A and B are shown apart, each in its own frame.
Chain A
Amino acid sequence: MKEIFEIRIHGRGGQGAKTAAQFIVEAALSKGKHIQSFPEYGPERAGAPMKAFARISDVEIRTYAPVVNPDVVIVIDHTLLDSVDVTEGLNDDGVLLVNSPLSSEEIRKKTKFNGKCMTVDATRIAIDAVGRNLPNTPMIGALIKATNCISMDDIEESINHKFLKKIGEEKTKATINAVKKAYEEVK
């Protein structure tokens, strides 16, 4: 077991990979963990492939290097599977989570990944719940189901903390419901 649990999120600029990473570590912080999250600092163009990283640990995190050997890879946009090697550095004991209407078998075939692979149609869940294509937060629900690295209560709290004032109670609740729905549906 590695001392530091590492997550790499693949998305496109504007899809909220950075925000998802931040939610994850904020939820871990409320359990007293050491945390770190940051995006890959590219040119920050909307729509361009980008990565965000999250680290959770019982010991102090001192490195500032990008995550090279992730325990979990989350793919927010499945079109990236054609252009980005999302499983790079991911060992077979790791987890691959993909936002896709396809089954995990199909994704496994496509990526040639032999470890634990799960998919959920987070885009549909997000559109149903909040009326917009914001699959980043539902993917956190999938992460909780797959790894239990954070708790649903804590993620609820960090989403409330971030969104309640900004988008109101109704939309915040819908966002949280989308996370829970993805938790139920991911397989």
Chain B
Amino acid sequence: MIPVTKSKTHALTGAQAVAHAMKQINPDVVSVFPITPQTEIMMQFSQFHADGLVETEIVRVESEHSSMSCCVGASAAGARAMTATSSAGLALMWEILGVASGLRLPIVMPIVNRALSAPINIHGDHSDAMGARDQGWLQIFSENAQEAYENTLLAVRLAEHKDVLLPVMVCQDGFITSHCVQNLNLFEDNVVKKFVGDYNPKKALLNTDDPVTYGPLQLQDYYFETQKQRADAILNSKKIYLELGKELSKVTGNNYPLFEEYKLKDADAVIVVMSSTAGNTKVVVDKLRKEGKKVGLLKPRLFRPFPYAEFGKALVGKKYVAVLDRAENYGANAPLFGEVKNALFDSVVCDENKNVPKLKSYIFGLGGRNIFESEIEDLFNLLLTGKFDETKVGYIGLRGEQK
């Protein structure tokens, strides 16, 4: 699609793309824990800081727990606060993630999705973000560097919107996109800055003219009501995400749907997969379409809040659907699969005339294991036969497993 505003194409990694977004956002405070599993996002952003290209106060902290705590403090004080993390770093933040969303602080955090230990591994999978998916943060997943860049810009407006006021994670695949040099269209600073705007917090701790308290004790008396407000806010954010996406479209020429439908309308066999693997899948869809096979892709973008009704509408009536998760969910349905199954149940209850697809869960790519186009092609061909055991979880690229 042709960008509406001027842009220049660069050869940048996904991590550098997000660092450029942060440069254009120019946050008031950025906290950083500067060793592994930190990523090139912060390395590049620190370089911008050293070069005097941002006015941000960078706070180097002693752990990721402190990093998120620093963002919480800065955001409550009235600052636009950001940090970035990955893998074990996100896991260590867990306690404070809930504080950030519970205090309704619009922190934006790019995540480079990587595996969790043990065994020790920091390569690309979704275990980190899936472990944090129920902490009241919005989660947006990006297929490539361009999406990660643009989603980061969108995330700032979304987090700070008066009807949302919740923190947002912007995810991209560890190494696979974060370390891959690719085409990136950077939009002009003034256009991006105009879209992002200034942050004017309604209730800031440092505004002594309007004193407020953040983080008070709420026991049996009010805790429950406060939680309900947070739950309502995150549900409400879906609508705001779409509204702001339309506004950003005017700048970028790209669209920001809840999920992307790729040759889905008339597809018999559908793969549902997030992030970079959606790119691999599109290549296979194109190849098989040329052979006359009706295959398609559904790529989730907004994972929290999860758009159940829209998912159900898009998938109900399809013949065969495989949901590919890049994370385990020990003792339960895989994270994305579980959501898709819920969505389909709702749809069928609403419309008894519709058929439920034959639905199967697949796990792939844990710890950064590659997924090849040939494997995706085999899967589509298997789905089209309809001869697969949907009662068992399938594994792609795992030694000794049958699909």
Chain A contacts to B: CB under 8 angstroms:
21-22, 25-26, 29, 32, 34-39, 41, 61-66, 68
Contact for B279 among A32, A41, A63, CB less than 8 A: A63
Whole-angstrom distance between the alpha carbons of A38 and B371 in the complex?
15
Number of B residues, CB within 8 Å of A? 27
Q: Can you name 16 A-B pairs with beta carbons within 8 Å?
A: A21-B181, A22-B11, A25-B11, A29-B10, A29-B11, A32-B9, A35-B11, A37-B11, A38-B179, A41-B179, A63-B279, A64-B176, A65-B280, A65-B372, A65-B373, A66-B372
Whole-angstrom distance between the alpha carbons of A92 and B9 in the complex?
35
Determine the chain A residues whose CB is within 8 A of the CB of B47 once the complex forms: none
Determine the chain A residues whose CB is within 8 A of the CB of B11 once the complex forms: 22, 25-26, 29, 35, 37
Q: Is the CB of A65 within 8 A of B370?
A: yes
Question: Which are the 4 A-B pairs with shortest beta-carbon distances?
Answer: A62-B279, A38-B180, A64-B276, A37-B181
Determine the chain B residues whose CB is within 8 A of the CB of A63 once the complex forms: 279-280, 283, 373
User: Which residue, of B11, B276, B370, has the highest number of chain A Cβ atoms within 10 A?
Assistant: B11
Q: Is the CB of A68 within 8 A of B372?
A: yes
**A161 vs chain B, min Cβ distance (A):** 10
Chain A: which residue is nearest B181 at the CB level? A37
Chain B: which residue is nearest A26 at the CB level? B11
Whole-angstrom distance between the alpha carbons of A99 and B395 in the complex?
40
> Are A36 and B370 CB-contacts (below 8 A) given A26-B11, A62-B279, A62-B282?
no
Determine the chain A residues whose CB is within 8 A of the CB of B175 once the complex forms: 38, 41
Whole-angstrom distance between the alpha carbons of A36 and B145 in the complex?
11
> Are A29 and B370 CB-contacts (below 8 A) given A41-B175, A62-B279, A64-B177?
no
Determine the chain A residues whose CB is within 8 A of the CB of B279 once the complex forms: 62-64
Determine the chain B residues whose CB is within 8 A of the CB of A29 once the complex forms: 9-11, 183
Whole-angstrom distance between the alpha carbons of A126 and B368 in the complex?
35
Whole-angstrom distance between the alpha carbons of A38 and B372 in the complex?
16
Chain B: which residue is nearest A62 at the CB level? B279
Q: Is the CB of A36 within 8 A of B283?
A: no
Determine the chain B residues whose CB is within 8 A of the CB of A62 once the complex forms: 144, 279-280, 282-283
Chain B: which residue is nearest A60 at the CB level? B183
Interface string of B357-380 (1 = CB under 8 A from A): 000000000001011111000000
B173 an interface residue at 8 Å Cβ cutoff? yes
Determine the chain A residues whose CB is within 8 A of the CB of B179 once the complex forms: 38-39, 41
Q: Is the CB of A64 within 8 A of B181?
A: no
B123 an interface residue at 8 Å Cβ cutoff? yes
Chain B: which residue is nearest A61 at the CB level? B182
User: Which residue, of B173, B180, B181, B276, has the highest number of chain A Cβ atoms within 10 A?
Assistant: B181
> Are A64 and B9 CB-contacts (below 8 A) given A35-B182, A38-B181?
no
Chain B positions 369-399 with a Cβ under 8 Å from a chain A Cβ: 370-374
Determine the chain B residues whose CB is within 8 A of the CB of A22 once the complex forms: 11, 181
**A1 vs chain B, min Cβ distance (A):** 16
Determine the chain A residues whose CB is within 8 A of the CB of B182 once the complex forms: 35-36, 61
Whole-angstrom distance between the alpha carbons of A32 and B185 in the complex?
12
Chain A: which residue is nearest B277 at the CB level? A64
Q: Is the CB of A34 within 8 A of B372?
A: no
User: Which residue, of A35, A38, A64, A65, has the highest number of chain B Cβ atoms within 10 A?
Assistant: A64
Chain B: which residue is nearest A22 at the CB level? B181
Chain A: which residue is nearest B282 at the CB level? A62
Beyond A35-B182, A38-B179, A61-B182, 9 extra complex contacts between A and B, CB < 8 Å: A25-B11, A25-B181, A32-B9, A34-B183, A36-B181, A63-B279, A63-B283, A65-B280, A65-B370
Whole-angstrom distance between the alpha carbons of A102 and B182 in the complex?
35
User: Which residue, of A32, A35, A38, has the highest number of chain B Cβ atoms within 10 A?
Assistant: A38
Determine the chain B residues whose CB is within 8 A of the CB of A26 once the complex forms: 11, 181
Q: Is the CB of A65 within 8 A of B180?
A: no
Chain A: which residue is nearest B174 at the CB level? A41
**A29 vs chain B, min Cβ distance (A):** 5
**B262 vs chain A, min Cβ distance (A):** 10
Determine the chain B residues whose CB is within 8 A of the CB of A32 once the complex forms: 9
Whole-angstrom distance between the alpha carbons of A57 and B10 in the complex?
15
Determine the chain A residues whose CB is within 8 A of the CB of B370 once the complex forms: 65-66
Determine the chain A residues whose CB is within 8 A of the CB of B183 once the complex forms: 29, 34-35, 61
**B310 vs chain A, min Cβ distance (A):** 24
Q: Is the CB of A64 within 8 A of B372?
A: no
Contact for B180 among A34, A36, A68, CB less than 8 A: A36
Whole-angstrom distance between the alpha carbons of A61 and B279 in the complex?
8
